[in-house]
Amino acid sequence: MPTRIYLDANATEPLRPEAREAALAALDLTGNPASVHGFGRAARAKLEAARETIAARFGGQPADLVFTSGGTEANALAIAGLAAGRRRIISAIEHDAVRNAAPEAALIPVDRQGVADLEALAGLLAKGPAAFVALMLANNETGVIQPIAGAASLCRRFGAHLHVDAVQGAGRIACDLAALGADSLALSGHKLGAPAGAGALLLTAEAAARLTPMITGGGQERGRRGGTPPLAAIAGFAAAAATARPSPTLAALRDAAEAAALAAGAHICGAGVARLPNTTCLALPGVKAETQVIALDLAGIAVSAGAACSAGKIAQSHVLAAMGLGALAGQAIRVSLPWHASAADIDAFAAAYRTMAARLSRRAA
Amino acid sequence: MSGGVDSSVVAGLLAEAGHEVIGITLQLYDHGAATARKGACCAGQDIHDAKRVADHLGITHYVIDAEARFRHAVIEDFASAYAAGETPVPCVRCNQSVKFGDLMALAVDLGAEALATGHYVRRIEGVAGPELHRASDLTRDQSWFLFATTAAQLAFCRFPLGEMASKNLVRAHALRFGLPVANKPDSQDICFVPDGRYAELVARLRPEAATAGEIVTREGVPLGRHEGIARYTVGQAKRLGTAAMVDGVPQMVVAIDAARRRVVVAPRGIVRDRLVRLREVNWLIPPPEAPISCLVKLRAREEPKAARVTAGAGGEAAVELAAPALAAPGQACVFYDGSRVLGGGFIRATQVDEDGVGAVSEPTYGGVAQR
């Protein structure tokens, strides 16, 4: 087995040392933040410090941040807790965490580059009052950054709530609730390089005031989300949030990976628009995505395609289909560089990709 | 790797022998994890089992989405065959399209040297290349289901279970490897209709095959009504209602007239075919220029019987049975020389012939391992 190289950061980022240290320290802390005694107070102090760090990092107030089990729950809480009685409008490229929580939603189409069509959104908003809109900050498969500011001003004009799934964008590009003009933001710890197990819904004060909980339980999180919070995961989340920054180095490495893939016959999905610095979506005409993922895995390079279901089966990408890529939608893989990617990793990827493309493209032809 | 004992043991044996083994599980249809039914192939629980086996053996494992191809090449073909008055063998279609077509192409793409499966057949290197033979354990033999394997596919495939003296031996290997599926029951049904109620599936895809019609004699005299030709197979004696007995003589289905939605019956045992015509014939020997004498099997579970086979043009063949028998259109007719598979084809609807007498067994999917 060759050395394994991890280029699937959008599935989960490798643990950052800062997050590891913070999580380990929290693991040794006995105490439930809800307890009255000294142990409880110490745990509570850690929890609230983390809340302040994360809220500040993403442009909100600590009082308006609700810890959840992760990004999926944050999105589900936003929809269950804020969209009641409102028409739901989501982009056609949202993650399943949003799509499956709002199955009957009207869809905002995207263009061939994978950017949500704001004119279409305006049309949908104009159809009636009181909408709940979900538009992701950046797409998980293509990395294409969505026009949040534009959507926010439309939503304001029509009195709609704008929810932003910032799971992939947070830490990789500017992500600030106030600056984006959004009403709620879903965040995930492990996508920032923390251990999995914690996420957050960051709200405006107005949205926080009308949030209905999904889980009441013991009234934790100011009655917005019951259950004892996972302190180690949350401490790691805060440390990762404080550390993660947009990286020009990653963008350069990503560009190098793309150049190699292009030379080997790849088509880059969404190449013409602003994207996350760490993500590229490479279609190899005529070669099934699952074959590419397997061939690269056997060569020691970990990438992904579409969305893997719980069985590990690779399903057709609804994102690339929405972009009108036709057959290419089933022939694209996602390469997402982790925060610690190196030039050597990209060299290894380029070599493996060239070998794979030469072998499989010839067969496809 | 279906998640069952057989393919799991194959993976274990090959890994033990030092091969680099890549396990592949085909997701063939969305069975719904909720059913969690044991004993059916490639449903949700079975994929989970296959992954656990691969983890246990320490081999690489992938799940391939073959749903679209399986639906088109196997399930829809299955329903269409019933709508045309035939009795299909979906396992053969699956082997032709999904397993030895797409799966083998993937194995080649990945640079694999061979594709091993859990089928109970033997592949023997002969003077003129690899030969396909019946399994050592004739009660497990699946060669009838593999007649359509081409020479190129046979060259690339390996069937390590073909030499196993019994299924108990296979289970013993599973126990020896400590496989979590060692005691899993065998699959018995058609995998995509695990409850055995295939007529409902056919009715959903081909409503015309579930429309009521007449049960008639060979002369066209109405004897009763039926609830859709999909519920009938040539040789069947059940579900005939008022037509089951005529003048004290038990009747059975001898033909299905799909165009007029008629089920044709005759007294049990009097209608036999002496000449059986085949289509989509696959030869594992050079197609013979003169008629050959060999053994043939007209259904999955029966002893091979003597016949003369004449290869025709356009993938056809004519089979002259030494003793007339009942041939169900859509089923396979496979040619054997001793244990060796020479070829085979699908039985075409034939003219009713009145020669011969004898007992008739009903085609069944139960009791024999499919694939």
pLDDT digits (tens, 9 = 90+) for A13-49: 999 999 999 999 999 999 999 999 999 999 999 999 9
Query: Positive or negative, the Cα torsion across A34, A36, A39, A45?
Result: positive
Q: What are the structure tokens assigned to B155, written together?
A: 């060259």
pLDDT digits (tens, 9 = 90+) for B247-296: 999 999 999 999 999 999 999 988 788 999 999 999 999 999 999 999 99
Per-residue pLDDT for B370 more than 60?
no
DSSP 8-state secondary structure symbol assigned to residue B231: G
Contact B187, B370 (CB under 8 A): yes
The residues, any chain, with a CB within 8 Å of residue A14's CB and separated by 6 or more, are A6, A193, A338, A339, A340
In whole angstroms, give the CA distance from residue B369 to residue B170. Answer: 14
Cβ of B51 and A297 within 8 Å?
Answer: no
The residues, any chain, with a CB within 8 Å of residue B273's CB and separated by 6 or more, are B321, B324, B325, B326, B327, B350, B353
Structure confidence at residue A312 as a pLDDT band (50, 70, 90): low
pLDDT digits (tens, 9 = 90+) for A205-227: 999 999 999 999 999 999 999 99
Cβ of A314 and B47 within 8 Å?
Answer: no
Cβ of B111 and A294 within 8 Å?
Answer: no
pLDDT, residue B318, reads: 96
Across the interface, of A294, A316, A363, the residue whose CB is closest to B62 is A294
Across the interface, of A295, A314, A316, the residue whose CB is closest to B110 is A295
* Domain B273-347: CATH architecture, name and number where available: Beta Barrel (2.40)
3-state secondary structure of B312: coil
Q: How far is CA B353 from the centre of its chain?
A: 26
Query: Positive or negative, the Cα torsion across A307, A309, A314, A315?
Result: negative
Cβ of A290 and B109 within 8 Å?
Answer: no
Of B131, B141, B186, nearest in space to B162 by CA: B141
Per-residue pLDDT for B355 more than 50?
no
Q: Which residue has the tokens 């016959």?
A: A265
CA angle (B108, A298, B8) in 5-degree steps:
75
In whole angstroms, give the CA distance from residue B41 to residue B191. Answer: 5
Q: Would you say domain A5-14+246-364 falls under CATH 3.40.640.10?
A: no
Cβ of A311 and B44 within 8 Å?
Answer: yes
In whole angstroms, give the CA distance from residue B337 to residue B134. Answer: 10
Across the interface, of A297, A298, A315, the residue whose CB is closest to B65 is A315
pLDDT digits (tens, 9 = 90+) for A123-161: 999 998 889 999 999 999 999 999 999 999 999 999 999
Rg (CA), chain A: 21
Chain B CB contacts of A315 below 8 Å: 65
Q: What are the structure tokens assigned to B258, written together?
A: 């799909």
pLDDT digits (tens, 9 = 90+) for B22-63: 999 998 887 653 344 544 444 578 889 999 999 999 999 999
Complex ipTM, two decimals? 0.87
Burial B131-162 (b: 16+ CB within 10 A, else e): bbbbbbbeebbbbbbbbbbebebbebbbbbbb
pLDDT, residue B78, reads: 95
Structure confidence at residue A355 as a pLDDT band (50, 70, 90): very high
Which of the following CATH numbers is that of domain B5-177: 3.40.50.970, 3.40.50.620, 3.40.50.1380, 2.60.40.2310? 3.40.50.620
Structure confidence at residue B364 as a pLDDT band (50, 70, 90): very low
pLDDT digits (tens, 9 = 90+) for B301-328: 899 999 999 999 999 999 999 999 989 9
Concatenate the DSSP letters of all residues of A288-339 into one string. Answer: -HHHHHHHHHHTTEE-B-S-B-TT-PBPPPHHHHHTT-GGGGGSEEEEE--T
DSSP 8-state secondary structure symbol assigned to residue A8: B
pLDDT digits (tens, 9 = 90+) for A278-311: 999 999 999 999 999 999 999 999 999 976 555 5
Per-residue pLDDT for B363 more than 50?
no
The residues, any chain, with a CB within 8 Å of residue A238's CB and separated by 6 or more, are A22, A49, A50, A51, A53, A54
- How many beta-carbon contacts under 8 Å exist across A and B? 40
Task: Give the residue from A4, A294, A304, A317 with the most B CB atoms within 10 Å of its CB, the best one to mutate.
Answer: A294
pLDDT, residue B352, reads: 45
Known catalytic residues of B?
Answer: 94, 191
CA angle (A278, A283, A285) in 5-degree steps:
165
Cβ of B109 and A360 within 8 Å?
Answer: yes
In whole angstroms, give the CA distance from residue A312 to residue A8. Answer: 15
Percent of chain B with pLDDT over 70: 91
Percent of chain B with pLDDT over 90: 77
Average confidence (pLDDT) over B149-162: 97
Chain A CB contacts of B110 below 8 Å: 291, 294-295, 298
- Amino acid (1-letter code) at residue B108: V
In whole angstroms, give the CA distance from residue A137 to residue A150. Answer: 12
* Domain B211-267: CATH architecture, name and number where available: Roll (2.30)
Could you give the strand order of the β-sheet that contains A184-188, starting from the edge strand earlier in sequence? A65-68, A199-203, A184-188, A161-165, A131-134, A87-91, A106-108
Across the interface, of B47, B60, B106, the residue whose CB is closest to A311 is B47
In whole angstroms, give the CA distance from residue B125 to residue B123. Answer: 7
Smallest CA–CA separation between A291 and chain B, in Å? 7
The residues, any chain, with a CB within 8 Å of residue A312's CB and separated by 6 or more, are B47, B51, B62, B63
Percent of chain A with pLDDT over 70: 96
Mean confidence (pLDDT) of chain A:
95
In whole angstroms, give the CA distance from residue A163 to residue A153. Answer: 13
Question: How far, in Å, are A334, B214, B227 from residue B251 at the CA level?
Answer: 63, 15, 17
Domain boundaries, chain A: 5-14+246-364, 17-243
Structure confidence at residue B354 as a pLDDT band (50, 70, 90): very low
Domain boundaries, chain B: 5-177, 211-267, 273-347
pLDDT, residue A365, reads: 60
Q: Would you say domain A17-243 falls under CATH 3.40.50.1000?
A: no
Chain B CB contacts of A363 below 8 Å: 108-109
